[in-house]
Amino acid sequence: MVVTSGTKRRMINTDGNIVQATTDITKNESENPDNKGQNLHWAETGYPVMDHFYTIQGEGVHTGRAAYFIRLAGCDVGCWWCDVKESWDATDHPVIAAGSLVRAARQSGAGIVVITGGEPLLHDLEPLTTGLHEVGLQVHIETSGSSPMSGDFDWITLSPKRFKEPLEVIFQLADELKVVVLTRKDLQWAEKNARKCSRNVKKLLQPEWDTPKSIPLIVEYVKEYPEWAISLQTHKFLNVP
């Protein structure tokens, strides 16, 4: 059974990059917490995980909301300013079963789970999102959109990167377009991506943390084009992960 926990739900076909189950969990750990013994197909799927933790969403439309973050390892995008470079090599991180991740997220008390990375769409997210929905959690993703879509999401944040451009399919699925800005060129890049998105997409410009000179550029741009808004990395001000 899939619980409808958001205002809209989309089923997205898996289109490649399937991670075969590699798991070291016991049968008991792999059980769906609410349906013991059922649906083990999703619970036993393993993911390389850099970190998973309960915190506050610091960025984007859902800023300030409590959320359980699952940071999957592996990224092939290569942003030079990336602040999680340690996530790039998936083999540096342990493989954890979806059943264990779902259990941890549910036990945290969170209502929202954010799947991020690295680049989370390097992995088949259908098993993990199925499990999270089965226990009634809303599932968000933050992605560069540069790998094939998989999984079922209540909120999709597209954060396109010039180093590996998004695949076309993601644009009409995105709820939120969040572009990291370092220079004026990134504003042109933001507009290029926005033209491909749906009319209802929330358009956000976010300064790169270590490039404060981009802030006045963004402020002036949003004043001139108020269909855009500013996203800040508020978790860094709050000093939470």
Nearest approach in angstroms of CB 107 to ligand SF4 is 27
Tokens 């042109």 locate to 188
Question: 25, 61, 79, 182: which one contacts ligand SF4 (CB under 6 A)?
Answer: 79
The yes or no reply on residue 75 touching ligand SF4 (CB under 6 A) is yes
3-state secondary structure of 194: helix
117 counts as binding ligand SF4 under rule CB under 6 A: yes
Q: Establish if 144 lies at the interface with ligand SF4 (CB under 6 A).
A: yes
Comparing CA positions, the residue from 207, 206, 211, 147 lying closest to residue 177 is 206
Supply 111's token pair.
């209502």
Residue 222 makes contact with ligand SF4 by CB under 6 A: no
Burial environment of residue 198 by CB neighbours within 10 A (0 to 12, 13 to 18, 19 or more):
exposed
From the CB of 39, what's the least distance to ligand SF4, in Å? 30
Of the candidate residues 48, 118, 120, 145, the single one contacting ligand SF4 (CB under 6 A): 118
Min separation Cβ 43 and ligand SF4, Å: 27
- Judged by CB, which is closer to ligand SF4: 118, or 151? 118
CB of 67 closer than 8 Å to CB of 57 = yes
Q: Is residue 78 near ligand SF4 by the rule CB under 6 A?
A: yes
Residue recorded with tokens 């300064």: 207
Residue range at the interface with ligand SF4 (CB under 6 A); choices 44-52, 113-121, 147-155, 231-239 = 113-121
| Residue 193 makes contact with ligand SF4 by CB under 6 A | no
What one-letter code names the amino acid at 220? Answer: E
Max CA distance (Å), the chain: 57
Q: Which residue is nearest to ligand SF4 (CB)?
A: 82
* Of the candidate residues 71, 103, 106, 161, the single one contacting ligand SF4 (CB under 6 A): 161
Tell me the C-alpha distance between 116 and 59, whole Å: 12
Report yes or no: 218 and 165 within 8 Å, Cβ to Cβ.
Answer: no
